[in-house]
Amino acid sequence: MFHYDLPNIQVQRLAVKLNPAAEKLVMQTAHPWIFSKNIEKINKPGEAGDIAILFRQKSNDLYGVGLYDPESPIQIKMLHYYSGKAIDKSFFSEKINEAFALRKPLLATSTNSYRLLFGENDGFPGFIADVYANVMVVKLYSAIWFPYLKDILQVLIEVSECETVVLRLSRNLQAHNHFDLQDGMILYGTLENEEVEFVEHGVLFTANVIKGHKTGYFLDHRENRKRVGVLAKNKTVLDVFSYAGGFSVHALAGGAKEVTSVDISKQALELATSNAALNGCVDNHLTLAGDAFLILEQLVEEGNTYDVVVIDPPSFAKSQKEVATAKHKYTQLARLGAKLVSKNGVLVLASCSSRVVADDFFEINESTLRSTGRQFVIQDKTYHDSDHPVTFKEGAYLKCGYYKFSS
């Protein structure tokens, strides 16, 4: 049962007309975002979570339903297109079951951690639900979901069979007291330890579901981590921006000769070390704490090389004005990475900056690597894992390139 009496909020229906350009965008692309500047008419003031019903400019035909968010520049988050629809428990149940069906092949592997709801891409704008073993972490980025939270959680619990639900709130939501809901609250079940152990392709990890980044761990690179684990057998590996050691631990579990994890956070490296220990890998794991760029420069100066180098930085472009700087940093990392990869080694370069699109990222990598004069082939380019489906352009952020050096 729920430990907290989740809010019972009455919502109203708003009649909305968009300007012609925005109406055309919604009709043609089913885009989930409607900005305040595109709203031409609204029949009355609205509150967060009110149901926005879109009517066509000329014919008055109903062509979509969304949730109203007065606190955001994206003022309507779309839920349904091309007709009217009752936004109720059965509506959410259908969407959640569709999402769960997409994840079933992943759960047939030796994996019990997955993203059940990936925001807009699963029809839940600003709503994330991650599962770690039998604990679900729900992270909300918008107040539009509070009126529907109880119904949605009931369905999520039923579908996932989770025994515990933890609520995480974005900084924006934490800044306001919404119905006494707090970041890190346990809404359902019990939690004996905030460090929850889970399995990813047979490798053990923990996620701090109360205090960890996002929901406690980064699930999106799962398939790439597994791949590095295979590449790493009997090899030396450098894992840069390692955080909790996702790539490092898969490499160690895959039989790496030695793995070096680099991160600016000593706490993250301690977590990486404990994750390695969970899998019985303690003797051949090294850690280096500090600024990754400076550490890489130092490793180059010292003449170090590695059979596999993984560079997976945090997002460098949180806004459009940071894109040029981000591209410069990706260029630096590709150049440093190339200097640290041994002959016949593999360089893995990743980006999670949505504002640096995949084509630009891969072009930066390839042109930078060519400029070094070393011979390499592109082994592969990968994107989101299956539990991070992409259903609209802005929903894509993750890309990863594999570069094999022959000289």
Task: Round to whole Å and give the CA distance between 175 and 111.
Answer: 35
Q: What's the Cα-to-Cα distance from 247 to each of 217, 244, 307, 362, rounded to whole Å?
A: 13, 9, 14, 21
Cβ neighbours of residue 278 closer than 8 Å, sequence gap 6 or more? 197, 204, 205, 206, 249
Q: Which two three-digit tokens encode residue 17?
A: 């007309």
CB-CB neighbours of 93 under 10 Å: 17
The beta-strand segments (E) located in 100-154 are 113-118, 127-132, 135-140
Q: At 357, phi and psi to the nearest 5? A: -70, 160
The DSSP call for residue 335 is H
Q: At 322, phi and psi to the nearest 5? A: -95, 0
Enumerate residue ranges in the chain where pLDDT < 50: none
For residue 100, give the nearest of 57, 76, 72, 129 by alpha carbon.
Answer: 129
CB 76 within 8 A of CB 26: no
What digits encode the pLDDT tens for the residues 100-149?
Answer: 999 999 999 999 999 999 999 999 999 999 999 999 999 999 999 999 99
**For residue 1, what pLDDT is reported?**
66
Cβ neighbours of residue 4 closer than 8 Å, sequence gap 6 or more? 180, 181, 185, 187
Element (H, E) at 261: strand 258-263
Q: Which residues pair with 172 in a beta bridge?
A: none
Q: At 239, phi and psi to the nearest 5? A: -115, 110
pTM over the 0.85 mark = yes
